[in-house]
Structure 1
Amino acid sequence: MASSAAAAAGVQVLAGIFVSGSIAAGITQINNDVQTFRAAYAKYGAGRFVGLTVGNEVNDSPGNIMAKVFDVRGYLGSVGVTTPVSTVHTWVNIRDNPALCGADFVGANAHAFYDGGRTSGQAGDFVFKTVVPALKAACPGKKVIISESGWPSRGGNIGVAVPSIGDERNAILNLNCACRDDTSVSVYAFEYDDQLWKGNDNERSFGIFGKIQLNGDAFNPC
């Protein structure tokens, strides 16, 4: 569905296979989703996909995660799929476990809000002056993709980080402007809409559409 929508809109996709629980517990679902991706690749072409991630912040050891990433990468390569393959984890986990750097690119989630020491106006600086240098040091020579960065609009404060719609807009504006500084690093704004199934108001309220205007507002020239 994502590939079809992206093709209609003329945009690329960083595709992801969601892993619920450990790698071992999710193995059947992962393998099924690999086939789904292979079919989408055949239908929409190599140019539609920036990459494929196996798992997002999987609750398993780096060794188990990367073993499955390498398995998926090897299989897809054997059937002619050229899409880069990796996983996604929090930037702190990647910094502290360089084994997570081992695939085709580094996929890191980096939210200034959870640092607790940054305001919304520092969201972009946090990513490009703290997170990206740490990842480049831990994973030398690897392409870095910030697969999530955003700001919540509801819930409790964490240190000086305050959730509100105004702060969310400010963070998205700041992140967008900071992206000018290093165009080799792609940053994916988190996220399309609120996710009410999540466990608390901070986690539920990162949604952008319907709350924040982009063109002519948060995407204004910096």
Structure 2
Amino acid sequence: RDPSTDVAVLKLTDTELPVAEIGDANSLKVGHLVMAIGRGKERGLSASLGVVSNAGGAWRSMLGGGIDRFLRLDLNLYPSSVGGAIVDATGRVVGFSTSGPRGTVLTIPASTVNRVLDQLVQKGRISRGYLGVGMQSVFLQEALINKLSISSSHGVMVVSVEPQSPADRGGILLGDILVTLNDTPVQDTRDVQAFLASQIVGQTVKVKAIRGGELVELSIVIGER
């Protein structure tokens, strides 16, 4: 199971079951009809009809999982339907449902599910880049921005460093403020998560950080978690 995308692999002994046709979540637009399917223990099948209320690009879950497309649905999601199939108007499965913030209904696209499943089947887990630091976003004073010629108004302060972690071995210290990773600005923890998700484990990353009011440059080899 991958908690960051809420995707899990189940093994079935019956190989003669029918297989649903997979659709493309990228083809969905605002206003398109969709249906959420579920099955409860007591009342059996359930279905609710609705529309796509918002569609956007790739995003990250609260746990850092990469989701290929943002799809918010306007429909009544029954408890038995959470994690069930979302089908389009042609009956193709375009993803599965999950609960979003403040009672919203979101879709994990089929492309995301298949990508995660491939890794879970092959490795039993999802390989993700790892630095080994606790972080929080901090505001950078204008005087410091001007002095160091920094383009961002925020950085990511290191509030903890795990012993013998990639960050520890690379020389990151408590209180360092990360401003770029491979010249990519980072202003909050999600920026760091997004960067690590796009990198290869074992790759060396150039880190620029503020330390004692000066800009320092470090090299860190990305670990795996």
Normalised-by-shorter TM-score class: under 0.3
Larger Rg: 2
Higher helix share: 1
Q: TM-score, normalised by structure 1?
A: 0.22
